Copies of this chain bind each other. A is one copy, B any other.
């Protein structure tokens, strides 16, 4: 069906049927604003991140369902990086004449799946019609007990750096898709690019156990995101190249593409793993949680004095300064 036939209010009705107001919401879709009743003694976390067709996704590589799913996950990832619990979501859409109702249904199917997986209630949004590229701009609201919030700013010198999973997979997945390489063998990589998993359970667990001194999610790439954490904490950092967790498919794919796999891990974005710093005195507690299978986390380096800048230590022991090579939304034209 053509979207213009259905109209804005027809589409809103359709969305409203898919997302009936949950008990925890005071007022959901369909009024001038949504209303919620925040929990006592919790900070409310607010974040917004946009996906634009042709910039953040390519319809040739991702289905509408995947785009909807991913748009939720990239926002949940920001809540995860504060240690918060995802609670509510608003979806702002910029539609064009090219989208049919079926595509928008698929988009909301992906939004619904990601929302259900992460505990989000869809409570509102906006639909606009445009000539330009399709875009989706969710706003996600999370909650966190006052004393458990983790920012980018709290890292101390000597704190150990951890990541929650393998790095570079999503960037390698996108590179494979762009090169038109048969990706059947590399499902893990393309899946991580198309339908990333936000580590909100991990973020919440870590924050509740008061383990991280600082935390950020890896959306732009390790070198770039670690630089933000360094800057906000007023420190430098050293990364042990040999310690960065790399998946077997990434290593195979890098070999096939003739690229050093570490490049994807250092500068490739969109893995949505968490990067966090851990003071020495919390190390035992974290290592026990890892050992007991409560959480996956890999030590990759440590915080250093500011003058150190960002250093990569190669397996041979050679050190080289690392420039933030990740994603800047204004300086580059296309992601990956």
A48 to chain B, nearest CB (A): 5
Instruction: Kindly state whether residue A291 has any CB partner on chain B within 8 Å.
Output: no
Instruction: Kindly state whether residue A68 has any CB partner on chain B within 8 Å.
Output: no
Minimum CB distance partner of A37 in chain B: B43
Residues of A284-336 at the interface with B, using a CB-CB cut-off of 8 Å, are 328-333
Minimum CB distance partner of A52 in chain B: B130
Chain A 22-50, CB-CB to B under 8 Å as 1, else 0, gives: 00001100111111111010011111111
Please indicate the chain B residues that have their CB under 8 angstroms from the CB of A248 in the complex.
none
Instruction: Kindly state whether residue A267 has any CB partner on chain B within 8 Å.
Output: no
Please indicate the chain B residues that have their CB under 8 angstroms from the CB of A49 in the complex.
126
CB–CB A47/B34 < 8 A: yes
In the complex, which range does the number of interface residues on chain A fall in?
A: 35 or more
CB–CB B331/A27 < 8 A: no
Task: Answer whether A50 and B126 are a contact pair too, CB < 8 Å, given A27-B151, A33-B79, A146-B37.
Answer: yes
CA A46 to CA B135, docked complex, whole Å:
20
Instruction: Kindly state whether residue A250 has any CB partner on chain B within 8 Å.
Output: no
Q: Show 17 A/B contacts (Cβ-Cβ < 8 Å), sorted by A.
A: A7-B328, A7-B331, A30-B232, A31-B152, A32-B47, A35-B82, A38-B38, A46-B139, A48-B125, A50-B92, A55-B128, A55-B129, A90-B139, A92-B92, A95-B330, A131-B132, A135-B135
Contact surface of A with B, Cβ cutoff 8 Å: 3-4, 6-9, 11, 26-27, 30-38, 40, 43-50, 52, 54-56, 77-79, 81-82, 84, 88, 90, 92, 94-95, 123-133, 135, 137, 139, 141-142, 144, 146, 149, 151-153, 215-217, 232, 328-333
| Closest A-B pairs by Cβ, 9 of them | A132-B132, A32-B81, A33-B47, A132-B133, A38-B38, A33-B45, A32-B78, A8-B329, A35-B43
